Structure 1
Amino acid sequence: MKHRLPLLFALLKFVSGLLLAGYGTYELHRDEYLYLDYGRHLAWGYIEVPPLTALQSWVSLALGGGFFWVKAWPLLWGSLTIYIVVRLAQRLGGGPWAQALAGVCYLTTAYGRVNLLFQPNAFEVFSFTLGMYLLVRHAQPDGQPRHLYWLGLVLGLGILNKYTTFFFGAAVLAGLLLTTPRLFARRPIWLAGGLALLVAAPTLGWQLRHGLPFRHHMALLHDTQLVYVTVASFWSAQLLLCFAALLVWVPGLWAALRGQPAPAVRVAGLVFVVGLLILTILHGKSYYSLGYYPALFAIGAVWWQTRLASRLGLRIALLALPLALWVPIVRDIFPILPPAAMARLSQRPLHRKLGLNRWEDGQVHPLPQDFADMLGWHELADKTWLAYQALPDSTRARTLIKCDDYGQAGALNYYNRNRAIPAATSFNGSYLYWFPALPARPWRNLLLVGEGHPEELVPYFQEFRKVGEMTTPYARERGVTIYLGINPSPALLARAYGERRTELAAWEGNLKY
């Protein structure tokens, strides 16, 4: 009986997420293609993220790699997260109304988008929420050392998923030091910390063996994105991310810091404050904070339960408010409308005022950037396949397919996964590690996808011509070309492999190159 409502919300989350995922209307997102290619190159680390995503990719590909098997992972982590949120409300003494309020808060906030895409973010939110739950459980009167051991395991898995877990871990240590400093004189907390490091050791070792590419990743991220994140923009985004639940999580934070509805929740409030303070100081992206909120939904819901015990009308209103705020914007935040209809919807003044169609380039486009990143990939893969098929049988096997970025390479490999064609590669991201070695018999053909300056390459080939172009309306990559170069010169190949060595040296701190 006690698990019925949490399980009901978990099921609702999975089914509703699948219905809002855009199947049949949109394709996978560019990032998802990269992460799926991890499954073909299992390792303890990658340039972008640690290896846990790769294991999920391997399973999805083993099951056929269809749309459902890709989306099942973020939906699974989202379903488990909402289960924990509702269960935490229950553990704190919340009745069915408080549990439902906590669950509705999760359903109607930014987590709908987080649990839509196959990225490390969905598991990150899940692991942080589970970590908060275990902290509260350990602080309750019936708390046991096993809750700390489970916390250590969760933190270790979190590091295997995304290195931002170190920030969460620092916030956890601060929260425990401020609430139960004597805990650090006992063995369980050190065993839990050791377990976290033991679980994370393989990917930490991979980083060391490869010259800590994480440093270069953070430097690039800082110079190109984080440097533009201001304190004002970060905190204004915090209000928007969970706006529908503002009346729940804000009182939840206040209550937690005061030890209400139970002293055990104080640690959750402190972890939230310290965690967001760390992100503010480091100019973290606004969505890095999403894992800190779900526990506050549960705490705030139980706090409201005690204050609205005899006010049925206010209870109904508070439960309905997040839904009332969420329903009108469902079409704006989920890929359920066809691109042309979405483009028309985006002409509304409110849509423009919110800047939903402003991309990384600072310009306003017909579709939100994420939606435009879900279009045209199948067309690009099909046209590359046709260009490859048109090559003579005698030279087809000696063809290199090089793309300008990871989205193009990943999409080609995904949609051509059941075709006899060489894997597409790139100098972008982890494809640097997967780039094929220079063969003993030179490449006869180069298929170049997304080449930015094709006119400069004409002298390096016996023949060089355009063989395809993406034409899908509203696609972010619309206009990307496919060029075929026949009999590339040794000078061009030497230059290309030299560029790869230079890129690897930048990532690995000249460790090998």
Structure 2
Amino acid sequence: MKRILPLAFAVLKFVSGFFLISAAYELQRDEYLYLNQGQHLAWGYLEVPPLIAAQGWVSLALGGGEGWVKFWPFLWGAGTMYLVVRLAGRLGGGWFAQTLAGVCYLCSAFARLNLLFQPNSFEVFGFLACLYGLVGYLQEERVRYLYLLGLGLGLGLLNKYTTLFFIAALGGALLLTPARRLLGHRHFWGAAGVALLLWLPNVMWQISHGIPFLHHMALLNQTQLVHVEAADFWKAQLLMCFPALLVWAPGLLALLLARAFRPYRAVGLVVVLGVGLLAALHGKDYYALGYYPVLFAFGAVWWEARLAKFRWQRLAQPALLAVPLVLHLAYLPLACPLRSPAEMAALRPRYQHLGAYRWEDGQNHALPQDYADMLGWREMADKTWAAYQSLPDSVRAGTLIHCANYGQASAINYYNRHRAMPPANSLNGSFIFWYPSLNQCRAIIVVDDEPDEELAPHFAASRRFATVTNPYARERGTHITIGIRPDSAVLNLVRREWRTSLASWEGN
């Protein structure tokens, strides 16, 4: 049972992903970027470390279909589910505790998180793997668990830089509890060495490029994190895993206060310090999701022990299992993109007070931002292809496709990957490393939601070819403009913008 039940839940989690996305939606903006990074393998990128790009490369090598793109978040979600249920069993929980822990993971914010090909799914898996290793060592004192911890930290650093905050929380938790004895264990530092060795290539890449991570954090603070209010952050912590509140909240309190869980007090402090650090730094609310799965396991075991002494145990157990399921069903339209865009827009009055329709700009919109970011991309790519096809043969070979942001360029490249046309480019994000030479440029296709009309006289001919019209897409109104035979002023302007962008990222 200790192995079969976790495996059964993992399979359920993996398979369920295929039924939680409506065909009305496409891939999400960031997913296209990570796939595009998979075509330019390196030890680092301006946005993220290299692990997500390696997964993108594999997906593209297998054909690049949406099923292969979604394979990764489904896999990491299933892996996290396995560890959640397995951890409940390792803590002494029986079938009820393991089932309750699995249901909590299935019915909380991870249902949505594990649908998107982003670093977040592996981050949650990695954090839980580290805490699983810590629990395993505290139970058995076998060094293999320390190296599992080191492996999780090393891969986590290759996946997302927020792992640094987790490491800080882990260090603080060890110092504040009897688990500090680990700091004098040679294999603990051996595991730390494994983590550093895994991360080292990315560190060298950062150093060789002027540590662009610092510039990336500065941009986030100026454009996105500036809208993160403390009250909204804590409200989101309540809402993201609200269906499982009756489990994770007692789990956290038990970790910090209960005598039975005293050996694992450091685990509880990792959660407190990690989430507190993110709140202090105005991190996005979902950055904290990786700290909750471990609480499902501890909370489920706590409940099983309490109900064992309850007279109506046989009634209480199914009732407790039903709570997260019922609450999850009530908020399922927000958790997963199952309903069409029009239906989701109609539901806005019901859910708007939860902040679900509030975007990074701090304003409410017709759809949740993730949903709006999953629309209009194929239309944009097809219209860009049509614009390219409309060009005369004399200029087609020297065409530059210039996009205002990485989402546009990445999506155009994804949907046109089997068509004979040049790749789309941008001066946004990591695309600055892949921007082509302009020496043979004879035509420019500009994809921009705010095109500069003053540039038209600098082309021998210029015309608006098409516009993205999907009413629910975040890219609605993006224009596709064709300019033939640009003059030197336009080309020099692009070169200057490229040099300026590169210098700002590389600290020059």
TM-score bin, normalised by smaller chain: over 0.9
* Secondary structure in structure 2 of the residue aligned to 1:157: helix
Question: Could you say which residue in structure 1 is the equivalent of 2:433?
Answer: 433
* Secondary structure in structure 1 of the residue aligned to 2:429: coil
The aligned runs of 1:37-48 (5 Å cut-off) are: 37-48=36-47
Q: Within 2, Cα distance between the matches of 1:37 and 1:60?
A: 11
* Secondary structure in structure 1 of the residue aligned to 2:446: strand
Alignment partner of 1:336 is 2:338: yes
How far is 1:184 from its partner?
1.8
Q: Per-residue CA shift, 1:57-93, capped at 9, x if unaligned?
A: 0000001111110111011100000100000000011
Q: Within 1, Cα distance between the matches of 2:396 and 2:230?
A: 54
Question: Which deviates further from its counterpart, 168-177 or 89-98?
Answer: 168-177
CA contact (8 A) 1:260 1:266 kept: no
The aligned runs of 1:264-275 (5 Å cut-off) are: 264-275=263-274
CA contact (8 A) 1:375 1:472 kept: yes
Question: Could you say which residue in structure 2 is the equivalent of 1:379?
Answer: 379
Q: Within 1, Cα distance between the matches of 2:290 and 2:260?
A: 21
Question: Could you say which residue in structure 2 is the equivalent of 1:502?
Answer: 500
How far is 1:331 from its partner?
2.0
How far is 1:352 from its partner?
2.5
Q: Within 1, Cα distance between the matches of 2:202 and 2:186?
A: 26
Question: Could you say which residue in structure 2 is the equivalent of 1:172?
Answer: 170
How far is 1:226 from its partner?
2.1
Question: Which deviates further from its counterpart, 309-318 or 483-492?
Answer: 309-318
How far is 1:451 from its partner?
5.4
Question: Could you say which residue in structure 1 is the equivalent of 2:82?
Answer: 83
* Structure 2 counterpart of 1:164, one-letter code: T
CA contact (8 A) 2:227 2:361 kept: no
**Pairwise CA RMSD:** 1.3
Question: Could you say which residue in structure 2 is the equivalent of 1:488?
Answer: 486
Q: Structure 1 residues 362, 272: CA separation in 2 closer, same or farther (over 3 Å shift)?
A: closer
Q: Within 2, Cα distance between the matches of 1:143 and 1:443?
A: 64
Q: Within 2, Cα distance between the matches of 1:260 and 1:508?
A: 51
Alignment partner of 1:354 is 2:354: yes
Question: Could you say which residue in structure 1 is the equivalent of 2:443?
Answer: 445
How far is 1:259 from its partner?
5.2
Question: Could you say which residue in structure 2 is the equivalent of 1:227?
Answer: 226
* Structure 2 counterpart of 1:113, one-letter code: R
How far is 1:265 from its partner?
2.3
Give the counterpart of 1:160 among 158, 161, 171. Answer: 158
CA contact (8 A) 2:59 2:68 kept: yes
* Secondary structure in structure 1 of the residue aligned to 2:196: helix
Q: Within 1, Cα distance between the matches of 2:303 and 2:419?
A: 57
Alignment partner of 1:151 is 2:149: yes
Q: Structure 1 residues 501, 296: CA separation in 2 closer, same or farther (over 3 Å shift)?
A: same
Structure 1 length-normalised TM: 0.96
* Secondary structure in structure 2 of the residue aligned to 1:468: strand
Question: Which deviates further from its counterpart, 307-316 or 294-303?
Answer: 307-316
Q: Which runs of 5+ in 2 are unaligned?
A: none
Q: Within 2, Cα distance between the matches of 1:466 and 1:223?
A: 32
Q: Within 1, Cα distance between the matches of 2:327 and 2:449?
A: 44
Q: Within 1, Cα distance between the matches of 2:265 and 2:425?
A: 50
Q: Within 2, Cα distance between the matches of 1:2 and 1:352?
A: 42
Q: Within 2, Cα distance between the matches of 1:248 and 1:356?
A: 23
* Structure 2 counterpart of 1:339, one-letter code: P
* Secondary structure in structure 2 of the residue aligned to 1:180: helix
Question: Could you say which residue in structure 2 is the equivalent of 1:6?
Answer: 6
Matched positions, count: 504
Q: Within 1, Cα distance between the matches of 2:6 and 2:222?
A: 43
Q: Per-residue CA shift, 1:225-270, capped at 9, x if unaligned?
A: 2233233222221111111111111110111113554443222101
* Structure 1 counterpart of 2:472, one-letter code: Y
* Secondary structure in structure 1 of the residue aligned to 2:26: coil
Q: Within 1, Cα distance between the matches of 2:265 and 2:124?
A: 20
Q: Within 1, Cα distance between the matches of 2:259 and 2:270?
A: 15
Q: Per-residue CA shift, 1:290-319, capped at 9, x if unaligned?
A: 111100100010011111014221212111
Question: Which deviates further from its counterpart, 9-18 or 71-80?
Answer: 9-18
How far is 1:478 from its partner?
1.3
How far is 1:115 from its partner?
0.4
The aligned runs of 1:277-292 (5 Å cut-off) are: 277-292=276-291
Q: Within 2, Cα distance between the matches of 1:245 and 1:261?
A: 22
Q: Which runs of 5+ in 1 are unaligned?
A: none
Alignment partner of 1:60 is 2:62: no
Q: Per-residue CA shift, 1:113-169, capped at 9, x if unaligned?
A: 1101110000000000111111111101x2301111111111000000001101101
Q: Within 2, Cα distance between the matches of 1:356 and 1:153?
A: 35
